[in-house]
Chains A and B, each alone.
Chain A
Amino acid sequence: NAGVTQTPKFQVLKTGQSMTLQCAQDMNHEYMSWYRQDPGMGLRLIHYSVGAGITDQGEVPNGYNVSRSTTEDFPLRLLSAAPSQTSVYFCASSPDRTNTGELFFGEGSRLTVL
């Protein structure tokens, strides 16, 4: 199993540009989520999904969109990037859709918005 795969690992954007961070998992996990990690602020939940066709907002959803058309994929879209979205983004999945089980993280994507 490859686990949770994120692409790209690094990306530099200009303000106003759009992009999609890709996340795929091959463990047949129903739960998938996106976090951003900023210095001194831990991991903050952006959006999550408990199964194909179901998504919901986390703590910091503004400026981000998600969709879940398949069990395997959970892309994160930035429609109009802002410098405040400079961060490291982690995708995570779990076999437990009730959020009481281990999260398996991807390697992270470092995004810089100029």
Chain B
Amino acid sequence: GENVEQHPSTLSVQEGDSAVIKCTYSDSASNYFPWYKQELGKRPQLIIDIRSNVGEKKDQRIAVTLNKTAKHFSLHITETQPEDSAVYFCAASRNKFYFGSGTKLNVKP
């Protein structure tokens, strides 16, 4: 089956700095790559996604890039704010979702 690896496991940045989280996947047939944000004690919620026919997607301060050849995709958050503090999960899907192990982002005021 698919194997999704996510790095780093924890990330601490100063407010206003950028944060980058990286994921790799093993199944070249995976064609959908979402990112979910989970605040403490809450349910995961989709923040951005990208499909295999697109290389980059932006939504305000959040962007995702996909390199199909290298089988990796990344989440970029610019101008981080304290409310960005949460656990972020990447996932890869062909006919099932496989999630990374998560990155705990801490934005220091």
> How many Å from the CB of A56 to the closest CB on chain B?
9
**Are B43 and A90 in contact, CB atoms less than 8 angstroms apart?**
yes
**Are B49 and A59 in contact, CB atoms less than 8 angstroms apart?**
no
A residues 69-114 with Cβ under 8 Å of B?
90, 98-103, 105-108
Interface 9-residue window, one of A12-20, A22-30, A40-48: A40-48
Q: For the complex, is B99 an interface residue (Cβ under 8 Å from A)?
A: yes
Contact residues of B with A, CB < 8 Å? Answer: 1, 4, 6, 9, 31-32, 34, 36, 42-46, 49, 51, 89, 91, 93-102
Q: For the complex, is A58 an interface residue (Cβ under 8 Å from B)?
A: yes
With A42-B100, A43-B89 known as contacts, the answer to whether A102 contacts B34 (CB < 8 A) is yes
Q: How far is the CA of A15 from the CA of B43 in the complex (A)?
A: 27
Selected A-B contacts with CB under 8 Å, 5 pairs: A43-B91, A98-B95, A102-B46, A103-B36, A105-B43
> How many Å from the CB of B74 to the closest CB on chain A?
17
Overall SS of chain B's interface: strand
B-chain residues with CB within 8 Å of residue A105 when the two chains form the complex:
43-45
With A59-B1, A106-B43 known as contacts, the answer to whether A100 contacts B93 (CB < 8 A) is yes
Q: How far is the CA of A84 from the CA of B31 in the complex (A)?
A: 32
A-chain residues with CB within 8 Å of residue B4 when the two chains form the complex:
42
The chain A residue sitting closest to B31, CB to CB, is: A100
Q: How far is the CA of A48 from the CA of B98 in the complex (A)?
A: 13
The chain B residue sitting closest to A43, CB to CB, is: B99
**Are B96 and A45 in contact, CB atoms less than 8 angstroms apart?**
yes
B-chain residues with CB within 8 Å of residue A35 when the two chains form the complex:
99
Other-chain contact of B101, A40, A45, A99, A101 (Cβ < 8 Å): A40
Other-chain contact of A42, B1, B32, B89 (Cβ < 8 Å): B89
With A100-B51, A102-B34 known as contacts, the answer to whether A44 contacts B99 (CB < 8 A) is yes
**Are A42 and B95 in contact, CB atoms less than 8 angstroms apart?**
no
**Are B97 and A90 in contact, CB atoms less than 8 angstroms apart?**
no
